[in-house]
Structure 1
Amino acid sequence: MSETNSDMLAADVPAALVPIGDVLLQTGALSDEDARRVAEHRARTGLDFDRAAIDLALATPEDVARARAQLEGRLALSLAPTADVSEELVVLSDPNGTQAEAIRLLRTQIIAQHIGAGRRALAVCAAVDGSGATYIAANLAAALSQVGFKTLLVDANLRNPRIDSMFGIDPSGPGLTSYLALEANRPERVIYPDVLPNLSVLPSGPPVGRPQELLSGARFRAGVDIVLREFDIAIFDTPATNESADALTVAGLIGYALVVARRHMAYVKDVQTLAQQLLAARATIIGSVLNEYQ
């Protein structure tokens, strides 16, 4: 979907649900009728809410600057985990166990063959749900951060996200969908920094309709370009390909994929089909993981 269509999809969101619009209402810079007019103008033009308000002369740049300062203060307070990390992060909960050791071996291979080649991102993909892609993505990201790589873990599973619960992040808080739906002007605004030393997390964010279209849009591509400049490595968790094409979209954009299968869960044919789909999407498969976690 084009950038304009992405913007127009987001323009359907009521003003009170757009953070900058909410602040402008609360400060009295806009009335309810003004907000309605701005929302209509957004739908026609694809402008961000604040730019649409200025374009209609319903708010001044100074009004918007004050509102954005308040909004940034709110987000800065909220972008922090609210609970402890999950025991599924075995590199932390059971660092001497066999699973953590296997993750560290995977880390060594990723460093040597992927990061060492100058590559900055990879998508973790699985053919069927329950394969453990999220488990591998989260533990691999944590393991990379432990040896000093500035790592970003992105939950690009907008349909059934779990990264937030693994890291104690409020599932109703801001995340990737907030950026994609134009509720945050840049992806950095919805990243939870240093959830662990050297590890930042971009959760999926509130549920949205038509996630495939958002992930296919120019705004997602632009956001990926921005974050890849800020981190040594970015790990993208994705939904199973037997449920949606989201993973193929993400992997095709990033260019590299790690395939995860779980014993007694996926058939060989499923994995072969996934490999063919990734190649068709122009994503290089850098390796595969046979996951047997309990």
Structure 2
Amino acid sequence: MSDIETIPADPATSDALLQTGALTDDQARLVAEHQARTGQSFDQAAVALALATEEDVALARQAVQGSLALQLSPSSSISEEIVVISDPASPRSESLRLLRTQIIAQHVGAGRRAFAVTGATDGAGASFIAANLAAALSQVGIKTLLVDANLRNPRIDAIFGIDPNGPGLSTYLSMEANRPERVVYANVLPNLSVVPAGPPVGRPQELLSGARFRTGVDILLRQYDVAIFDTPATNENADALTVAGVLGYALVVARRNHAYLKDVQVLTQQLTSSRATVIGSVLNDYD
């Protein structure tokens, strides 16, 4: 009899394979059904079905125990701003699903892993688009990471009910966490993990321009099909241009009756100068 079957797991890590997204949705469903029949833990059931090895479980548990973020839970429910969940039949949700289709065809399908979402002016709704697009991608089984790279005025934590003082990108960049995986909130939604901005820090531009950010991005991108980085408006600072330059791609958001065409044109030129390819633009019409 295996160690996993004879040694009870810590309840916090008894479903480590599920928490770390190590199984596909179909595999997780089979494991859950077997778990219900046998009374085993999720990890024990996965091993019993030969969908994971003891080594897989050990590695998953190590990842869970080593993660600052996985020790925390969202502090409240997910905001109704995620309209692809709260109002899936609305025109806004349909538009976001169309955007998802375009992103899959033109970006993910081409093997590209990440892009920044930014607006030319504050209030464009970049966070709304980034969060909903990430949720929409996760709904079709794409393993998605949403990163709040707006270290000045973050919103992703509030949208997903995450403690704003909990670990996040700033925790890693300021070297309070040694690995970027430690600030990932895994499976906030099925197939969707989140790195919030984290506690406020000084010098965000310097932190995002440093080698540590590039290294962290490289590590995280190996683990997800696509990563979306929410960034601040470019009329206030150059953070978005820095992030987009590291990722190589950007999605531009403009709000109807709020942004001027010239603002968008200038932003597109700035992104190109920062060596980021603009993969598309979104005219945001949310209230």
TM-score bracket, shorter-length normalisation: 0.7 to 0.9
Q: Which residue of 1 aligns with 2:131?
A: 138
Q: Which residue of 2 aligns with 1:207?
A: 200
Alpha-carbon separation, structure 1, partners of 2:76 and 2:124: 26
Q: Pairwise CA RMSD of aligned residues?
A: 1.4
- 2:84 is paired with a residue whose SS is helix
- 2:68 is paired with a residue whose SS is helix
Q: Which residue of 1 aligns with 2:32?
A: none
Equivalent pairs counted in the alignment come to 225
Alpha-carbon distance, 1:78 to partner: 3.5
What amino acid sits opposite 2:165 in the alignment?
A: S
Alpha-carbon distance, 1:75 to partner: 2.5
Alpha-carbon distance, 1:265 to partner: 1.1
Question: Against the structure 1 CA distance between its residues 285 and 202, is the aligned structure 2 distance closer, same or farther, given a 3 Å change threshold?
Answer: same
Alpha-carbon separation, structure 1, partners of 2:157 and 2:279: 26
Q: Which residue of 2 aligns with 1:277?
A: 270
What amino acid sits opposite 1:224 in the alignment?
A: V
Q: Which residue of 2 aligns with 1:55?
A: none
CA contact (8 A) 1:79 1:190 kept: no
Listed as ranges, the gaps of 5+ residues in structure 1 are 1-68
Find 2:183's aligned residue among 171, 186, 190: 190
- 1:169 is paired with a residue whose SS is coil
- 1:213 is paired with a residue whose SS is helix
Q: Encode CA deviations 1:250-270: one digit per residue, 9 max, x unaligned.
A: 001100000000011111111
CA contact (8 A) 1:79 1:191 kept: no
Alpha-carbon separation, structure 1, partners of 2:126 and 2:249: 15
Q: Encode CA deviations 1:227-285: one digit per residue, 9 max, x unaligned.
A: 00000000000000001000000001100000000011111111111000000001000
- 2:78 is paired with a residue whose SS is coil
Q: State TM-score, norm by structure 1.
A: 0.75
What amino acid sits opposite 2:229 in the alignment?
A: F
Identity of aligned residues (%): 74
Alpha-carbon separation, structure 2, partners of 1:76 and 1:245: 28
What amino acid sits opposite 1:247 in the alignment?
A: A
Find 2:157's aligned residue among 156, 164, 174: 164
Alpha-carbon separation, structure 1, partners of 2:234 and 2:176: 28
**In the alignment, structure 1 residue 80 sits paired with structure 2 residue 66:** no
CA contact (8 A) 2:145 2:195 kept: yes
Alignment of 1:81-160 (within 5 A): 81-160=74-153
Q: Where in structure 1 do 4 or more consecutive aligned residues deviate above 4 Å?
A: 71-74
Alignment of 1:219-230 (within 5 A): 219-230=212-223
Alignment of 1:2-17 (within 5 A): none
